[in-house]
């Protein structure tokens, strides 16, 4: 469940920052780069701050795949 939430939050942040870069200010692309760098860092170190935050809120690691 945590992996789905992390991917959903990252994807949402990227889409929002791209829309903000188009309609507000191009500098919002720095936020997109930050999200991408954070995803890369978490793939290399196997540590993700959002997963730690979700764990403190009681979100489990169990898979809830429908298939």
| Residue-range domain boundaries for the chain | 2-56
pLDDT tens string 12-27: 999 999 999 999 999 9
32 close to 18: Cβ distance less than 8 angstroms: yes
Task: Name residue, tokens 């890369």.
Answer: 40
* Tokens representing residue 55 in the block: 């764990």
pLDDT tens string 26-59: 999 999 999 999 999 999 999 998 898 999 999 8
Between 64 and 61, the more confident residue is 61
Classify burial at 50, counting beta carbons within 10 Å of its beta carbon; exposed 0-12, middle 13-18, buried 19 or more.
Answer: middle
Q: What is the pLDDT of residue 64?
A: 54
Q: Please give the DSSP secondary-structure letter assigned to residue 34.
A: H
31 close to 13: Cβ distance less than 8 angstroms: yes
Task: Give 8's pLDDT tier (boundaries 50, 70, 90).
Answer: very high
Task: Name residue, tokens 């978490």.
Answer: 42
């Amino acid at each position: 469940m945590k992996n789905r939430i992390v991917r959903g939050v990252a994807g949402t942040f990227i889409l929002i920052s791209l829309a903000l870069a188009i309609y507000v200010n191009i500098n919002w692309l720095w936020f997109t780069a930050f999200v991408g760098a954070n995803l890369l860092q978490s793939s290399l170190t196997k540590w993700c701050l959002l997963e730690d935050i979700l764990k403190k809120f009681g979100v489990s690691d169990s898979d809830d795949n429908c298939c």
